[in-house]
Amino acid sequence: MENKKSTGELSEAIIMAHLLKKGWSVSLPFGNNQRYDMILDNGDKLLKIQCKTAWFRDGCIHFQTASKNGFTNVRTDYHGQIDLFLVYYPVLQKVYCVDVKLAGKNQMSLRIDDLKPKAPTKNVKWASDYEI
């Protein structure tokens, strides 16, 4: 059985290493009571980051855009509490950056596979457009 906490911690570490390789500065909050996992200094400002691990289904990678309280099962989105989601997809070993303002309240999908012929493209969010 998969340990979701260790999977998340591994994704955070990989995302942090990815950012450091790009020359960006990363800071970690003390403790684990913040709604963000890290702070990214992009040279212009400090950004609150929530790290997520993506999974694949139906041609897209998906990630949660809300957390769930383990005691009450109440889901809480991150709007107004973070700036960006940084999402790691282990199969492709890629990191994606999504502004919290673009994310839904529960889950978000980024398309990897081509669409079927004549499929609507208006609302498609292509993973390649968010890759960092």
**Average pLDDT of the residues of the chain:** 92
pTM, full prediction: 0.90
Question: What residues does each domain of the chain span?
Answer: 4-129
Q: Which are the contacts of 93, defined by CB distance < 8 A and separation ≥ 6? A: 14
Q: What is the pLDDT of residues 85-121, one digit of tens each?
A: 999 999 999 999 999 999 988 999 999 998 877 766 7
Q: What percent of the chain has pLDDT over 70?
A: 97
Please give the Cα distance from 45 to 47 (Å, whole number).
6
Whether 106 contacts 77, CB under 8 Å = yes
Q: What is the pLDDT of residues 58-72, one digit of tens each?
A: 999 999 999 988 789
**DSSP 8-state code for residue 101:** G
Give the pair of three-digit tokens for residue 31.
Answer: 């403790």
pLDDT range class, residue 50, cuts 50, 70, 90: very high
Give CATH for domain 4-129: 3.40.1350.10
